[in-house]
Amino acid sequence: MARSQRIARIAEADAVVVIGLGRFGTSLALELMAAGTDVLGIDSDEELVQSLNGQLTHVVRADSTNEEALRQLGVHEFDRAVVAIGNDIQASILTTSLLLRFGIPAIWAKAVSDAHGQIFEQLGVQHVVYPEKDMGRRVAHLVRGAALDYIEVDRDFAIVKMSPNSLVRGVRLRDSDIRSRFGVTVLAYKRGDAGWRNADLETVIEDDDTILVSGPIGKAEAFGQLR
Ligand code: ATP
């Protein structure tokens, strides 16, 4: 089967095209593969393409600013695309505007600065991601408090993974009153080898559990700092 036919088949299978296979693009592409999603990876670097050969459904060397090259690869047939080119802002913007012109319904583009991201937003890209900035903010919250992990769900809401403090240890969550007193909710807990379970009002958190707490950022973080 010709290469273009094989790639068109991938596009039909609800696959994702990932353009730019640096650290971010490669990690994203491999994670998609691990989760069972087919990936067409594109990069202009031959060595990189060689090194990923066999690990992605299809990986090809091409200059993504070249419209004809993208069309030949069937990129216009995909429903989902990620532009993971960072430092070469010109290539990132040219590639993204080609994908928009193709009418790809869902495009994620990686921005390395606010200005870069603003251009994407003006172009009409629905999903702009700022990996360095977001990770920096996340680590800041980890450094500040006792949280084991921290996920910002939105600008004003977070989930904190933490060891249980004295307010939740040994009491039924119903009786802990943390929702009204602290504005947070215990979503889930992990106990020994049993793994994670959803928490409910009858759950009694034990000393060695790990818990997931959700709430407005300031409140979730403040709760995470109580011992
Ligand atoms: P990371 O932090 O993910 O490693 P980066 O921002 O440091 O990424 P960049 O060099 O900006 O890395 O881009 C990531 C990848 O995009 C590189 O592997 C590069 O070869 C590829 N790339 C850059 N321009 C193009 C292009 N026009 N066509 C295809 N691939 C490109």
The chain-wide mean pLDDT, for the chain, equals: 92
Report whether 170 contacts 204 (CB < 8 A).
yes
10 vs 32: CA distance, rounded Å: 14
pLDDT exceeds 80 at position 3: no
Mean pLDDT of 197-204: 96
Q: What residue's CA is closest to ligand 1, atom 23?
A: 85
| Residues 87 and 141 occupy one common structural domain | no
| Residues 122 and 149 occupy one common structural domain | no
pLDDT digits (tens, 9 = 90+) for 13-26: 689 999 999 999 99
Q: What Rg value do the Cα atoms of the chain yield, rounded?
A: 22
Using the Cα atoms of residue 179, residue 182, residue 183 and residue 186 in order, give the sign of their dihedral: negative
How many residues belong to the chain? 227
DSSP string for the chain: --HHHHHHHHHHTT-EEEE--SHHHHHHHHHHHHTT--EEEEES-HHHHHHHTTTSSEEEE--TT-HHHHHHTTGGG-SEEEE---S-HHHHHHHHHHHHHHT-SEEEEE-SSHHHHHHHHHHT-SEEE-HHHHHHHHHHHHHHSS-SEEEEEETTEEEEEE---TTTBTSBHHHH-HHHHHS-EEEEEE-GGG-EEE--TT-BB-TT-EEEEEEEHHHHHHHHH--
Q: Which ligand 1 atom lies nearest to the CA of residue 65?
A: 27
Residues 6 or more apart from 220 whose CB is under 8 A from it? Answer: 157, 158, 159, 160, 184, 213, 214
| Residues 17 and 113 occupy one common structural domain | yes
Pocket test of ligand 1: the residue of 44, 94, 108, 133 to mutate, having most ligand atoms within 8 Å of its CB, is 44
- What the block records as the tokens of 187 is 């979503």
CA of 91 to the centre of ligand 1 (A): 9
Mean pLDDT of 87-115: 96
Around ligand 1, the residues with Cβ closer than 6 Å are 20-25, 42-45, 48, 63-65, 85-88, 91
In terms of average pLDDT, the best of 12-16, 91-95, 219-223 is: 91-95
| Residues 160 and 207 occupy one common structural domain | yes
> What pTM, to 2 d.p., does this model score?
0.81
Report whether 172 contacts 204 (CB < 8 A).
yes
pLDDT digits (tens, 9 = 90+) for 137-174: 888 877 877 788 888 888 899 999 999 999 999 999 99
Mean pLDDT of 94-113: 97
CA of 68 to the centre of ligand 1 (A): 20
Q: Pick the closest to residue 84 from 60, 58, 59, 112 (CA basis).
A: 112
The parent domain of residue 174 ranges over: 135-225
Q: What confidence score (pLDDT) does residue 4 get?
A: 67
Q: What confidence score (pLDDT) does residue 131 get?
A: 94
| Residues 121 and 140 occupy one common structural domain | no
Count of domains for the chain: 2
pLDDT digits (tens, 9 = 90+) for 177-189: 999 999 999 999 9
| Residues 98 and 139 occupy one common structural domain | no
Q: What residue's CA is closest to ligand 1, atom 8?
A: 22
Domain boundary (102, 129, 156) is at 129
pLDDT digits (tens, 9 = 90+) for 27-64: 999 999 999 999 999 999 999 999 999 999 999 999 99
